[in-house]
Amino acid sequence: MPLILQALFFLNKIERENICEPGSNKLSWKKAKELVTTELPTRMKDYKVYGEKKDEYRPYMRINYVEGIIAQYN
């Protein structure tokens, strides 16, 4: 389920360019596989579910966008 993994990357503020094919929104496993073991666990550990988010978020890193891309699995 690559869209679930992609949503997890986006929620943890990993840039689209680091995990997707150039010029698209399609997950590139070649780009993403290293981040699954190195960057993603740390960012998941530090993620704060509650409270005000003061950081800058791109539109694809917001919950509404992420809910849309995984809606087919609900």
Each residue's pLDDT, cut to its tens digit, for the chain (74 residues) gives: 899 999 999 999 999 999 999 999 999 999 999 999 999 999 999 988 888 878 888 999 999 999 999 999 87
Q: What is the pLDDT of residue 14?
A: 95
Token couple for 51: 């409270």
Residue 38, classified by CB atoms within 10 Å of its CB into exposed (0-12), middle (13-18) or buried (19+), is exposed
Q: What is the pLDDT of residue 11?
A: 93
Q: What is the pLDDT of residue 17?
A: 94
